[in-house]
Structure 1
Amino acid sequence: MEKDPTAFVSYSWDSKEHKRWVLSLVSKLFDKRVETSIDVLETQNATVNLNNMMIKNIREKDYTILVLTEEYAKKADELQGGVGFETNMLIPLIMDNLQKIIPIVRTKGDKSKVIPFYLTGVHYIDFSDDIQFEESFTELLYKIYKVDLIEKPKLGIRPNLKPRKIESNIIESTFDKENNGLIPNFLKINDIDKNKFMKLTYSDIINGLNSLMKKTKANNSNFDFDLDTITSKKTIAKMYLDGTQKYAFKVWLGSGFGGRQETINLSYGNFVSDADNSMNEIIACEVDKDNKLGLIMTMNIFGNRDIVNSKIVISEIWKNVVNNIS
């Protein structure tokens, strides 16, 4: 007998009407033998750690259904509240297995405003029109049960095709071929682009350092570490050799220059505190000569002032950590 599919619903508490709509969706999924988890069902009879509940459900359920609204997108982009916490969990999951994520859209306005930064370009099921609910719900069920909504046609007989000779009267100018670089790009990167880029970079750095520490632990039986998510924008790591703490670092997303642009800040030492009043490095967003976003280590403790990508930043941070542990 086939195992029934399971799902976890991630949504924002926009209004009482929206919460009722989401619960109605969950009820219909249960009616179709999709065991579905949602916060209000898990918290009504017990005291529950919401963060642990989210992590457990995202990891263990077959699917995570994201009910996208403008409020959800805002909280995801700004990494606020439960939605922000779930966003930090979902970004690495999407990189590993996009098929576990099922975005659905519910809005009466511009649909582009309900798509969080990390889901740009991902296909969604549109539940905006209540008149079309059953059609949208059927599409959702087909996806959950991994059944093609449209039957794929069978291959027919291969045609006997032969190439045709084409005579062209169009002559491309030698000037056009050699001077494409003269066409300017007037599009400007704005503060929204920069802050979204820094949020993604923060997640990349945390995931990259976590991976390096796991691999180090696998190769060194006397090495261990703790990686604590203090908030959706702050993480503290502690490293141990033979059970003794040797080094620690803190990474948090904030405003190192006291301005409107997000920066990634780092603090190093044998012990680091939860307070954010001191730092050893500020990583800022810069636009390079090709009008592309990159990173720069402004306090220069690594000796590198070039515009770099997140992989180089992760490498430089880890080199500093290893030098202070050994």
Structure 2
Amino acid sequence: MEDSKHQEPKVFISYSWSSLEHQTMVKDWADRLLADGIDVKIDIYDLKEGDDKYAFMESMVTDETVSHVLIICDSQYKEKADTRNRGVGTETQIISGEIYSKVQQSKFIPILCEFNELNEPILPTFASARIGIDFSSLEKTNKNWEQLLRLLYNKPRFTKPTRGKAPSFLNEKADIPSGEIRAKYELLKQSIFSNNKNIKLFRNDFISSCIEFADALRVREQPNNDTFPEDILNTINKLKVVRNFLSDWLLLESGINHSVEFTESVTNLLEQLRILKSRPTDLSRFSDDWFEAHSVFVYELFLYIVASLMKTERYDLLHEIYTSSYLNPEIERFKGYDYDNFSSFYGNTKHAGRALSKDMNFHSNAAEIIKREADRNDLTFNHVVEAETITYMMSIIQLSSWHPGTLGYSNYTHRSPFFVKAAQHKNFQKLAIITGIKTVDEFKQIIEKNSANNLFNYSGRSYGRTPITKEILNLDYLDSIK
């Protein structure tokens, strides 16, 4: 809890009577501080005839209820302070003694009114190393007034976050450098900005570097049973660099490139991601459990791809993703099963549960991991939940299998913002582009028919409720407002 002196700031203003103009300016600042709720102590208001001005100065500087002392610094103040001349000189002796004897030195704040020919602030010697606030002109005063108020009220614009625990993957002996991905991304980004005719080559190089990085982290020998749960989490954490760079790329290019070639690059990427979930071709002895880390990674990345395209409003590309067929990895193909739909990107892990919690069973370990790894400001966990809502909707429409684990973290009355907005006709048209269903009546009929008796394929026991498809999709209100 904050100190009361910070909740109700009390300020003493120390200044030199340099001129009537300077005194008037300081008085205006005092009045402005008072108007902003600051308890101001200044001689022109608080020192009366018969008072001992030196006792007043000392009491103001040493008073523990005074949270801050504003030192109004100009050339006259510096001269009197350095020569210990008159009233300012007396204050200087008291202030400098306080500064060098007290641990909490932030009580004394220089207000910078003048700068020398080298553009250095004119400060008394005792405050020469202290950081001040620039009030050297009317424009600077207005610009930096909020900074002063935040300081006095102890309400900084930026608050240092709480230090967390060191990531567990740092305990591992070696790591795979991701510098190549960054280098390839920077080349691609410059190519996008300059509309380079060779953009396809740069994009392919970038995507290949991401896939190669992820492939190098695939399990190729029997894991240690004791460390395997933690190994899964470590691998997913390492793969986050791929998730982030691919998301950055889509956020950058998808909003400006509507070419067929770009669309194909996205669907081709998804096909390559599908391979990462399967066993490497050079393995003859294996267990499917070995590949759980990449199963979760592909699931997570698919949702981030959807979230990125939702943010750039590429509803046409989302339709392509949800309606395309994806060539299965060669080792998983057999007659009649050469291709699969988007549901093949879903993934989960049973073994990571022991590393996630010793006391709690999560209904979806993968969703819990995705939530913990959601640390982007531009693509938050809420964006991921919305992406999974869209994906789950498409699985209902296409009668595909998709377990919407992240929706378990939304409250009972949750409705996706996208579907709330789809109550307006113009926004329902965006939904129509994604689904390929043109009318709201047809959309409702398909959803209600396909989800009958199976609104959600889980009980919600870990979260205390069962979400309802109609509510999440805002089904009763879609396309109801013109």
TM-score for both structures, normalised by structure 1: 0.46
**1 or 2, which has the higher strand percentage?**
1
TM-score for both structures, normalised by structure 2: 0.31
